[in-house]
Amino acid sequence: MFDTVGLAEPHLRTDEYPEAIVNARSLTLKLYDEGGIDLLLFCVRAGRFSAALQNNYRLFFKWLCEKVPIALVLAGLEGEKDMDDRRIRHKDTFDKYNVVIDDHPCITAANKLDGRHQELYQLSCQLVRYLVREHTHGRPAGG
């Protein structure tokens, strides 16, 4: 598993964006040379579907990781009664913006918030592990 810089991060200055893209491209080319990429986890904070999110999706889908399964991981849902409700509510949005994904688990990464969300956090870990296993188990790298 490899991580790239978050392209929509507020701390990423405008002049750093091209370098972040070049670095992500270099990483994907290196990984393709070493056996391929099985799954792209595109992690975003749940909320409004922004132009930046749509542009970054297109960047990865069309330029960096064409033909690689993509899972859009919606994080920050610890305040939801049922995190999976977001999955249903986002389907029309994905269609509207022509975002094609293979899966989109709804999770929380809030592990250290005084234990209030520990159960949801554990469920979120299981969801992401299952997703990775489903897309990589028994398949040759890059296949």
Structure confidence at residue 126 (pLDDT): 92
Show the low-confidence residues of the chain (pLDDT under 50): 142-143
128: closest CA among 94, 105, 97, 108? Answer: 105
DSSP SS3 for 99: coil
Domain boundaries, the chain: 38-136
Sorted by sequence, the CB contacts under 8 Å of residue 78 that are 6+ apart come out as: 108, 110, 113, 116, 117, 120, 121
Per-residue CA distances from 22 to 8, 25, 26, 29, 53 (Å): 15, 5, 6, 11, 18
Structure confidence at residue 143 (pLDDT): 46
Residues in the chain: 143
- Distance of alpha carbon 5 from alpha carbon 20, whole angstroms: 7
